[in-house]
Amino acid sequence: MGIPDDIEQFEKILKELTIKYEQYFLGLEKREPLRLLEEVERLARKHTAAAVANTMLQFRYNALKSRLSSYRQYWNRTNRMIEEGRYSRDRFKMEMKSRKPAPAADAKAAPEEDDIFRQYLEACKSCNLPINGITRETISASLEKFRSGLSDKYEPDRIEFRVQIEGGKPKIKARPK
């Protein structure tokens, strides 16, 4: 292979390596792509000693080497953060493992709360009311208030919520299933 082909291959494999590292950092790949990294580093060293006559090829080659160097620093820093437990993906996983699993009723309630939230916003819009102060948290708190008030009469997963418009204002109503 000639120098242009080597540079083209270097660029192609470097793109592949960055994708593999991103997949590794996201947790999609289980192992760091060290073999591919070795191959890219071998291609980076291949023409270091040789003088590339074409200025454009020399520029592309040097730019790719610089890009590899920058990526290597980023990957090393991210790997260090992973080892120290400061990387956000790992922190998220650790927090999820440390939490107790939610009861089945709460798992069912989350999609229901989203539906109620959307229905409530739509009802406000149809009544020409402002929706500025309405958040998922306020709707969730209202539903939880209903649940706690009705928990002595009904099981939490046996309560159904719906949005009704009464007197020109949307209201959340609870009823047993």
Quick: pLDDT tens for 57-73: 889 999 999 999 999 99
Q: What is the pLDDT at residue 109?
A: 47
Give the residues of the chain that fall short of pLDDT 70: 1, 90-111, 151, 156
Quick: pLDDT tens for 86-111: 877 755 666 666 665 554 444 444 66
- Domain residue ranges in the chain: 3-97, 104-176
Across the chain, what does the average pLDDT equal? 82
CA 41 to chain centre: 30
Q: What is the pLDDT at residue 104?
A: 47
Q: Which long-range contacts (CB under 8 A, 24 or more apart) does 110-113 make?
A: 112/161, 113/139, 113/140, 113/143
Ramachandran region of residue 167, left (φ > 0), alpha (ψ -120 to 50) or beta? left
Taking a C-beta distance cutoff of 8 angstroms, is the pair 147, 156 a contact? yes
Query: Please, which residues bridge with residue 173 across strands?
Result: 162
